[in-house]
Structure 1
Amino acid sequence: MRFLENVILILLLFSLAWTFLPPQRRSRLILYLPFLVSLLVILHLIIEGSRWQMIPAYLLTLALLANNTRLLRSPASRSTHQPVWLRLGLVFGGLLLFLLVSQLPTLIPVFSLPQPGGGFAVGVSQLVLTDTERAEIFTSQPDDQRQVPLMIWYPAEVSPAERPTTYWLNQPQISRQLTAMLGLPFFLLDHLSLVQTHAVLDAPAVSGQPPFPVILYSHGYRLGYLQQNSSLMETLASHGYVVISVGHPFQAAAVPDKSGSLIRFASETAPRFSQDANFRDKSLTIWTDDLRFVLNHLPDFQSGSLLPQLSGKLDVERVGVGGMSFGGSAASRLCLQESRCDALLTLDSPQYEPVLSQSLQQPVLFFAAQESEYVREEVFQQVNAPAYLLTIQGSAHYDFTDLTLVSPLNAALGFSGGINGGQMVRILNQYSLAFFNRHLKNLPAPLLDSPSADYPEVTITARNWP
Structure 2
Amino acid sequence: MRLFEVLLVLSCFALLVDLLFIKRSAKKIGLGLGIGSSVILLVQLFVEGYRWQLLLVYIMTALFILIVLFRHSEKMVNLKIGKFLKYSLSSLIVILLVVSTGLSVYLPVFNLPKLDGPEKVGTQTFHFTDQNRDEVLTDDQSDKRELMVQVWYPTENINNNKRDTLFPKDKEMFKKYIQSFSTSLHLPEFVLDYWKYSRTNSYENSEILSSTSPYPLVLLSHGMGTSKVLHASQAENLASYGFIVVTIDHTYSTFATLFPDGRVTDYKKSTTTLDERTKTGNIWTKDVEFVIDQIEKLNSGAIESQFKGKIDLNNLGVMGHSFGGATAFNTTYLDHRVKAGINMDGSLYEVENRDDINKPFMFIRSGSFEDWLANFEIDRNSDDEVTKSLSDELHIMKNVINHGGNVIYVEGTQHFNFTDLQFYSELIKLSGITGDINGKRGSNIVNQYVLDFFNKQLKGTGGNLLQGPSDMYPEVKFIDPEDL
Under a length normalisation based on structure 1, what TM-score does the superposition of the two structures give?
A: 0.90
Counterparts in 2 of 1:19 and 1:369: CA distance versus 1, 3 Å: same
Match of 1:241 in 2: 243
Give the Cα separation in 1 of the matches to 2:248 and 2:80. 70
Which deviates more, 57-66 or 280-289? 57-66
By how many angstroms is 1:96 displaced?
A: 2.9
Equivalent AA in structure 1 for residue 398 of structure 2: Q
Secondary structure (helix, strand or coil) at the match of 1:309 reads: coil
1:206-355 residue pairs with structure 2 within 5 A?
206-222=209-225, 224-266=226-268, 269-270=269-270, 273-275=271-273, 277-306=274-303, 308-354=305-351
Whole-angstrom CA distance in 2 between matches of 1:78 and 1:184: 46
* Counterpart AA for 2:224: Y
Question: Which whole-Å CA distance do the structure 2 matches of 1:431 and 1:33 have between them?
Answer: 51
| Range 248-257 or range 318-327, more displaced | 248-257
Cα gap change, 1:204/1:187 in structure 2, threshold over 3 Å: closer, same or farther? same
SS at match of 2:320: strand
Q: Which residue pairs with 2:380 in the alignment?
A: none
Q: Say if 1:188 and 1:415 are closer, same or farther in 2 by CA, change over 3 A.
A: farther
Distance 1:86 1:54 in 2: 26
Q: Give the secondary structure class of the aligned counterpart of 1:308.
A: coil
Residues 1:304 and 1:71: Cα distance change in structure 2 (over 3 Å): farther
Q: Secondary structure at the match of 1:188?
A: helix
Residues 344 and 363 in structure 2, CA contact (< 8 A), matched pair in contact too: yes
Aligned to 1:358: 355
Q: CA deviation at 1:381?
A: 0.6
Counterpart residue identity of residue 395, structure 2:
E
C-alpha displacement of 1:429: 1.4
| CA shift for structure 1 position 334 | 0.9
**Is the Cα–Cα contact under 8 Å of residues 34 and 69 in structure 2 kept in the other structure?**
no
Instruction: Give the one of 424, 444, 463 matched to 1:406.
Output: 424
* CA gap 1:93/1:148 in 2 versus in 1, 3 angstroms: closer
> What is the match of residue 18 of structure 1?
18
Q: Any residues of structure 2 matched to 1:107-126 within 5 Å, and which?
A: 107-126=106-125
- Distance of 1:206 and 1:34 partners within structure 2: 50
The answer to whether the aligner puts 1:36 opposite 2:33 as a matched pair is: no
Equivalent AA in structure 2 for residue 297 of structure 1:
Q
Identify the range of structure 1 (138-147 vs 379-388) with the bigger mean alpha-carbon deviation. Answer: 379-388
1:378 aligned partner:
395
Correspondence for 2:189: 186
Distance 1:154 1:429 in 2: 16
Q: Deviations over 1:355-400 (max 9, x none)?
A: 6752322212212122256985332211253222221222221222
The Cα offsets for residues 125-147 of structure 1, whole Å up to 9 and x where unpaired, read as 11111111110111122121111
Corresponding position: 1:195 with 2:198: yes
Q: Is the 8 A contact 2:15 2:68 kept in 1?
A: no
Match of 2:134? Answer: 135
Residues 1:102 and 2:101 are matched in the alignment? yes
Shift of 1:337: 0.8
Deviations 1:204-263 (A, max 9, x none): 1011331000001111111x2122111110000010000011221111111133524222
Count of matched residue positions in the alignment of Structure 1 and Structure 2: 457
Q: Say whether the 8 Å CA contact 2:30–2:68 is kept in structure 1.
A: no
Tell me the SS of whatever aligns to 1:443. coil
1:158 offset after TM fit, Å? 0.5
SS in structure 1 at match of 2:49: coil
Q: SS of the counterpart of 2:60?
A: helix
1:113-167 deviation line (CA, Å, top 9, x unaligned): 1112212111111111111111011112212111121111011121483211100
CA distance in 2, matches of 1:199, 1:426: 18
Cα distance in 1 for partners of 2:282, 2:25 equals: 75
| Whole-angstrom CA distance in 2 between matches of 1:335 and 1:252 | 22
Instruction: Letter of the 2:178 partner, please give it.
Output: S
Q: What displacement does 1:432 show? A: 0.9
CA–CA separation in structure 1 for the residues paired with 2:304 and 2:224: 27
Report deviation, 1:462. Answer: 6.7
**Within 1, Cα distance between the matches of 2:394 and 2:235?**
27
Alignment of 1:62-101 (within 5 A): 62-74=62-74, 92-93=91-92, 95-101=94-100
Write out per-residue CA displacement over residues 271-316 of structure 1, whole angstroms, 9 at most, x where no aligned residue: xx213x3232111111000001112233212124435221221000
Mapped to 1, the partners of 2:15 and 2:119 lie a distance apart of 45
Q: Percent of counterpart pairs with the same letter?
A: 27
Task: Indicate if the aligned counterparts of 1:218 and 1:327 stay in contact, CA closer than 8 A.
Answer: yes
Q: 1:449 aligns with which of 460, 464, 467?
A: 467
Q: CA deviation at 1:81?
A: 11
The amino acid across from 1:437 in the alignment is N
Whether the 8 Å CA contact 1:164–1:200 is kept in 2: the answer is yes
Which structure shows the higher helix fraction? Answer: 2
d(CA) in 2 for partners of 1:81, 1:134: 76
Change (3 A) 1:100 1:76: same
Inter-partner Cα distance in structure 2 for 1:200 and 1:386: 37
Q: Is contact 2:27-2:72 (8 Å) kept?
A: no
Letter in 1 for 2:396: V
CA contact (8 A) 1:176 1:187 kept: no
Whether the aligned pair in 2 keeps the contact of 1:390 and 1:461 (CA below 8 Å) is: yes
RMSD, matched Cα: 2.7
SS across alignment from 2:228? coil
What is the CA–CA distance in structure 2 between the aligned matches of 1:99 and 1:86, rounded to whole Å?
20
Contact 1:356 1:379 in 2 (8 A): no
Structure 2 matches for 1:416-435, cutoff 5 A?
416-435=434-453
1:336/1:355 contact within 8 Å kept: no
1:178: Cα distance to partner? 2.5
* Mapped partners of 2:256, 2:150: distance in 1: 13
Structure 2 residue identity aligned to 1:220: G
Matched to 1:241, the amino acid is F
User: Is the CA contact 2:180–2:264 (under 8 Å) kept in the aligned structure 1?
Assistant: no
Q: Which letter does structure 2 place at the counterpart of 1:197? A: T
Q: Mean Cα displacement is larger for which, 194-203 or 419-428? A: 419-428
